[in-house]
Structure 1
Amino acid sequence: MILFVAVALIALTAGKTACASGDELLLQLNKELLQSTEASGSLPNPSVHIALRLSTHHNLLKESQNLNQLKTKLHDDIQSSINDMKPVVGRLALYVLALKASCQDLSSFTLSVNEMSEPLLTHLKKELETEKRNIASKQRPKTNYYQYSLGILALCVSGVRVSSHISHKLIHAVQHGQIKHDVSLCIDSHAMAGMALQCLKDARTTVNNEAELNKALATIKKKLLESERADGHMGNEFSTGLAVQALLAMGSYVKEHANSVEAMRADARKGTYHNPMAISQILPALQQRSYLDLKSKDCHDEDDSLIWNVLPVQPEVQSNVLVHVHVEVVKATGLISDFLVDVPSGSSLLKALTLLQDQQIGFTFEKEESLWGPFLSRVNGEWARQSDRRYWKISSDGNALKEGMGDYKIDADQKITIKNIDY
């Protein structure tokens, strides 16, 4: 009996230790997201705000300040894009979800369209109509199915009826294998489509064919489960968060995806998720929540126990070790150009390309900002943009990069291939 009690106490203590360790990890991720909101010179990220608001622990003052940044800087940026006639469905949808996460009255937010004031949700519906027409004429959205799904999800979570014509296009795309791109992006897109369609089903939104809706959801679930690797990640380290969110939203129990959850925890402890966008997608999943939980978000009597202090920015340590980088640029015509540059070990790809541009005539590049950080838009005078259904695919020694150019670190000799491809 004494032995039994001793073993039981050890097990209980171990369980508490594991739980505390898990709690500490979640708190650390929360603090890293709060730290990211202090970044100057960049647009506030609505995905970060959503994750903070879905979290168990809060710093309500910092979250309120971040909300105000969204309502000014991000709002103005979306308005500017509309003025320039650029598609905004993805950013607008995330903005709507972020406002919903803070229980804001969405009817009080407007945009200026053709010198007329228009509610956010009304404009989001119009953006989706434009996307739908593009699918009808060109068999693809003007943007992509990830943003299309995000737009449907934002309307549904906000209690707005989604046209059956719009939902049918997404269901059809799932069933006919039209959601495709890079492997990890495909998992991201299927996950977002799963949450959007599940929201429609839960809301009992009218669709053209309910059996087809259920079939599409089953197809998505199958694709997500089949994407699980031996290490537990689905697609890759950066698509697992959304995949788990989607599976939870579609009714799976968290214990069914224990390997995927542990894989995210392990990578979080290793520092893999240093990009705020990546953290914002895994944090809800680690707390067994998804974007669908925003539909019933209650902002009363919230915890306000998260203590956070501004951390000093650590200067980048300059390595004395140089590594050799062979940069190969493949234009849309197939024309290949080769360049060589030596960079300090540990440099980001962005820094490496900047050094290459500074040191050698014949190589130039331009970048644009996104919620994931900077991405290549123009190399050696040639564009590869979403509006042209093209992008610069970057590989290292033949393996496609999982991270963006600002996050990927070069710590050994390698060949970087930058190829202009369509999708």
Structure 2
Amino acid sequence: METIVLVGGGLAGAKAAETLRAEGFDGRVVLVAGEPELPYERPPLSKGYLLGSAERESARVHEPGWYEANDVELRTGVAAVGLDVAARRVELATGEEMAYDRLLLATGASARRLPVRGADLDGVRYLRTLADADRLRADLADGGRQLVVVGGGWIGLEVAAAARSRGNAVTVVEPQPTPLHAVLGQRMGEVFARLHRQHGVDLLTGTTVREIRGAGGRVTAVVTDRDVGLPADLVVVGIGAVPHTQLAASAGLEVDNGVVTDHALRASAPGVFAAGDVAASFSLLYGRHLRVEHWANALHGGPAAARSMLGQDVTYDRVPYFFTDQYDLGMEYSGLSGPGDTVVCRGDPEDGGFIAFWTSDGHVTAAMNVDVWDVTAPLQALVRSRQRVPAAALADPDAPLESLVV
């Protein structure tokens, strides 16, 4: 009987297991999850669960009985610590060695640590795991806390929104000129800057954290290059994520900002595949390797890897997609913009819903819809088409989005 081992208990690994069974694979499926949790997805951790509007179980990919019902051997709380790609064996932290015919690396990523003095004080938090979310939700639940968020990226801003919504005082420290500057640029970054300031967040841009201070082992203040001490009961660090490539690298697989794969999610050793946050996959659409950390990549990458493991003809080149909910604002983003792109807006970013398009030489590289819904499909079609579209047509609310792709 053939054995497929899936290493990683996140969305990519769980959806790969689901797809293997849905596609008729009747061999052995083993899902190795390093955390002592049923496989879960991450968006609720910084959104509904942290806000208190969703229960813990909402993060689960499947109900508890699904794994047994579908004959998936689920090993929770057990890390994979060794990989021999020549012998096709994976070693678990228990000392067990498991033979495989095909292996999926869906090991995800971990929160990047803040490299300053005092970062190990009690009260310094990260948000990556369900256990992290449990602790932070309890921290913020009663309100009245003084929270400093280090980093104005997606995690930092979602935590800030949840904390403010629960009655906590929030300061965000971001070294770039706006939050989300690297992703959205100056103009669209200002949209989120205004949003948070309107909700009472003290947003400090162009500011760098130098030190975290404490008393009795507990955080009390954050020192920046502009302030000798921002009061803090809690500090949440959101400065990016680092892919878990150690297992792959130790086995001699090609690693470059992730486990390198081809367009079919095949890694550099026979029988080994990678998906989700850890995979740096070759995109035929973009002509280069991409590592995408967002939910949609795990949601679709796990099933694509499963089909590839079953020998199906797979080309994984989806348009990158992510979404956020902050206060009463909802946003979806499709594509991959560049720092020199021009932004064209359909609607007024300062007054209600709008769509922003990023263009390069007339081609739409990315699009973001803010409080405008059911437009993801035509926006992704526009990005994928690589057509030149006049800026006037992009900005015209009377021009149907579907009509822009010929």
The normalised TM-score by structure 2 is: 0.25
Query: Where is the helix percentage greater, Structure 1 or Structure 2?
Result: 1
Query: Where is the strand percentage greater, Structure 1 or Structure 2?
Result: 2
